[in-house]
Structures are given as C-alpha cells and as structure tokens.
Amino acid sequence: MEICKRCIMDSTIPGFKLDAKGICNFCLYWKKNKDKYISFSDVNIKDNLSSIKKEVQTHTKKFKNKYDCIVGLSGGIDSSFVVYNLWKMGLNPLVIHLDNGWGTLNSNSNISKILEKTNFDYKTLVLDWEEFSDLQLSFLKAGVPDIELPTDHAILAYIYNYALKNNIKYIFSGVNFATEHSIVPAWGWRKDDYNHIKKIHKLFGKVKLKNYPNIIPFKKFYHQTISKKIKVINLLDQINYNSTKASEILSQEYGWMSYEAKHHESFFTMFFQTYILPKKFGIDKRKLHYSCLIRNHELTRDKALESLSLPAIDSLNLTQNKNFFLKKMLLTNEEFENIMLAEPKKHSDYSINWTQSLIFKFIKNQIKKILK
C-alpha cells in the first residue's frame, strides 16, 4: 500500500496518485487552491464579511423581506460556526433544522444553546419517519456507499424550495474548502439528484414518498445561474476557517460541546461512518477528514496515523450502537447481516449521472457564456 508523505491518504482510495516526490494528488490540489480560501489577511476578512453583509441587507431592504437569508443548522461545528458569524455580522437569518429522527442529545443541546443565545427565528423540518426510514433502508439494500444522500437531499431541497417560495435570495452554507476539500467521487453522488433517489427507492422501497422534499439538478442550476433568484454563500471560505479554533469559540460563546469526530452530531452518520462504511465498503473516512486537518495545520501527521491505527469504534459501543440501529430500523440481526454481506454496488449501477455528461456540460457552459 502506498501512502502520501504529507497526509495519510493512500492507494486504497479511488483516484489516489503519487508524484515523483511521494506527494498525493489531494495535497497538490490543496496547494494549488488554498490561497483562494484560507490565505486572507485580517483586513481581507473584514472586507469580505462587510461586503457580504452589505449585499444581503441591500436585497432585504429592496424586497422588504422579514429575513436576510436562510441557514441550515445541524448542530455540527461547520453549520454552528456559520450561524455564529451571521450573529456577529448582525444579519437576521431564518435558521432551519432538519429532524430526520437521528439527532443526538449533544446535537440537540448545541442547537438549543445557539438559538437561545442568538434569538434567531427557526423552523424544524420533521421528516415523515415511515417514509424516511423506508428510504434509508432502500439505500442500505441497494448496497451503495452514499447512504447519507436521502438526508443531504432533503435539507438541500427544503431550503431551496422555501427560499424560492418566500423570495429569500441568500442561502448560507457550512460547506468549506479548509476541512472538506478531499473529495472522492466514487464514494458519493450529487446531492440534488432526486431522480437517482427515486430509482433506488422504486427498486427497494415499500412506502410511497408523499412528503419527502425534493429537487432536481436543473432547477438548482436554473435559479442560481439564469433566474438568479438564489445565491449560495459558503461563508467559511471567506474567513481562514479553522475548525479547532471554531470549536473553542463556540464553546466560549455558547457552551457548545464538541463531538468525537466530524459529522457525529447524527447517530446515523456516526454508525454509518464507523461501522457500515469500513465493514461493507472498506472505506475509512477518517483518512479524508484527518488529511484535511493535516493540510490545514490542525492535526499532525503522526497523531493522525496514531488515531487511524485504532478502531473507529470500540467493541462495547459497537454492540450498543448496532442494537439501537437495528431496533430503530426494525431490522433483525440476520436481515442486517445479509445486507452487509451482499456485494457492494456503485451509484452508477442504478442511474447515469446525466449532469456529468458532455451534452449537459456543453449546454451549461453555453448558457454561462450567453449570460456573461
């Protein structure tokens, strides 16, 4: 097995390559692009935030909206720090939280603390559990690696559709380059592709999706590029984002409590990343997460390798978590083991990602040229 000399990405990861110096393509990508996202001076950061605030408030005043913008809040560090910055900037967002039935006590506590301190208005989208659990089970049975897609799509679709309906142009996102720049396409799928979700659910699901929020790629593209009714702002890409420092600030300001690992504010995500992905697919997402932190100077390579040498979850917690997961999903141990032993599949086995086709790319580029 080959491993990068700077991070801990290795040859088990699809698309991994080393140059003559033993440096991986993920590190080279970071070096080439980092200055666009994490090399701002204090003056630059102040100007970035001031410019964003002015643009957003000008639009709000023009259309006499109640809210300046919308922001999703999971209780995780990234979304929490976006809300913190909107609060410090003096903006008035509508905070939207997705309750998919898998929130932890820690995440619920963090969300409550943030909302109490900021006094922002908020909405909680509670997914229909019968529908949603059936959809998650469909993805488990399909054997694809991105089992988080139903959750990611639901919050994306709901926020977009709510923004369009209420004429709120600006959506603030916790997506960031600093801690999320290592992307492995083979491990995921487009978050806005409802057709892909429908196909998997049609093959493996039983409950009709009547209330599940949805959106298709063209609608998202149209309203961001052509009608320009929506503008997504990745705020963390404007402030030299450092998740370690963000955690310290959130703890001091809100009494916010950190999690054991990235995205562990959700029980489903925690179980998915620590057990299902490694066991069924041979995927250890800690390699991606730790490598991003190494490049962002938040974690040493030696410490990352030491952590990686340990199991993602200990045997006692694994037993407890597995039992809870099976009970909530109404699965027997035998049914779950059969799912885990079945041959892994690729998302492309179920549908063609037409948004990556040459025809779609050509049309999209032509539209962008015309608009310029």
- List the domain boundaries for the chain: 25-349
Confidence of residue 372 (pLDDT cuts 50, 70, 90): low
316, pLDDT greater than 90: no
366, pLDDT greater than 80: no
Task: Say which amino acid occupies 120.
Answer: F
Work out the average pLDDT over 126-136: 98
Query: Which pTM does this prediction carry?
Result: 0.93
The tens digit of pLDDT for each residue in 33-62 reads 999 999 999 999 999 999 999 999 999 999
Beta bridge partners of 122: 95
Helices of type H across the chain? 25-33, 42-63, 77-89, 105-118, 129-142, 149-165, 177-180, 194-204, 217-221, 243-254, 267-271, 286-295, 301-308, 315-328, 333-341, 358-371
User: Rounded CA gap, 256 and 191, in Å?
Assistant: 28
Q: Comparing C-alpha atoms, which of 90, 93, 101 is closest to residue 125?
A: 101
* DSSP, residue by residue, 52-98: HHHHHHHHHHHHT-S-SEEEE--SSHHHHHHHHHHHHHT--EEEEEE
Chain CA centroid to CA 340, Å: 24
Task: Say which amino acid occupies 248.
Answer: E
User: Looking at the domain 25-349, which fold is it?
Assistant: Rossmann fold (3.40.50)
353, pLDDT greater than 60: no
The tens digit of pLDDT for each residue in 60-95 reads 999 999 999 999 999 999 999 999 999 999 999 999
